[in-house]
Every structure is written in C-alpha cells, then in structure tokens.
Amino acid sequence: MPYYLRPSLITFTSADYNSGNPLILSDMSREPVEIGVDRIEQRERMASGRMRSKFIADKLTLGLSWTFLPSRSVVAGTNVVSDGYASATDLKRFYDAVKGEFNCKIYADTGTGGSIVVGSLYKDLQVFFSDFSTTIEKRGASFDIHSVSMSLEES
C-alpha cells in the first residue's frame, strides 16, 4: 500500500523490461528532480555584427537521484521501500535491460484548474539514459542501502 496520498512522480516504460509494464519510481529518499532545457539552435554572426539564430527545438534533460534507497522493495513480505515502488536493484535492472529509447511519464501539478488533480500528467517523454551510477552506502543482513543517480535526455 503506497505511503503517499498522491501516486509516484515518475514512471518508466519499455517493451524491453518486464513485458512493457511500467516501473514506478519510488519517492522514498529521492532528491529533487532537476529538469533542464537543452535548446537546439543554429547561431551565426552576420557581416554586420548582428547575431542570427535559427531555433530548431527545446529538449528536456532530467537529473534523478536517490540517497539511501534499499536494494530490495520487499523483504519477508514487508515493504522496505516505504511506498512499495522501485528499489535500487529495480532501477539497475531497468538500466541494464533498456539499451535505447524508453517512455518516461512525470506526474506533477500542471498549474491549471483550481486545485491539484491526483495523477495529473505533467510530461510524457521519450528519453535515453545519458548517465547511470549506483553506490553501495551500507551493508545489511537483509538488504543493502544504495545511492542511485541517473541523467536522461529527451529524444
């Protein structure tokens, strides 16, 4: 049973992982999600000294990280990850299985309407991994504690 009243912020989906079922990322010990914009444009300085720019597209970049995320979601029938979603091992398995593009959905307040709508879709993106790392922080008898960091680029 999820700990939070609102659903998880992010899900990943790929046909290469778990028969296309979504991996729901845990909000437990997640650091703030960094959302950046990579502006693709062609700039050129003209003979008069003025700059001319041809805008092509804005592509999002995402930075995600967790500190002290358990290596397992469930141990002996008990949720170790407080919201019951993806553990550090689940994130690593997804990264290992998916070599190309995958779907990333971000659920957050869209700023429209009078109040927050549960499950409101902020962005639905096709992304690639640009970086992934995991660190074993602590060892335990039933599970280990990891820190996980990843960067994503919109395709």
Q: Is residue 62 part of a domain?
A: yes
Number of CB atoms found within 10 A of residue 111's CB: 8
pLDDT digits (tens, 9 = 90+) for 97-117: 999 999 999 988 777 777 766
Q: Is residue 140 part of a domain?
A: yes
Q: Provide the number of structural domains found in the chain.
A: 1
Q: Is residue 5 part of a domain?
A: no
Q: What is the pTM of this model?
A: 0.84
For residue 35, the enclosing domain spans 10-40+56-154
pLDDT digits (tens, 9 = 90+) for 39-55: 999 999 999 999 999 99
Q: Is residue 49 part of a domain?
A: no
Q: Is residue 111 part of a domain?
A: yes
DSSP H helices in the chain = 88-97
DSSP annotation of 146: E
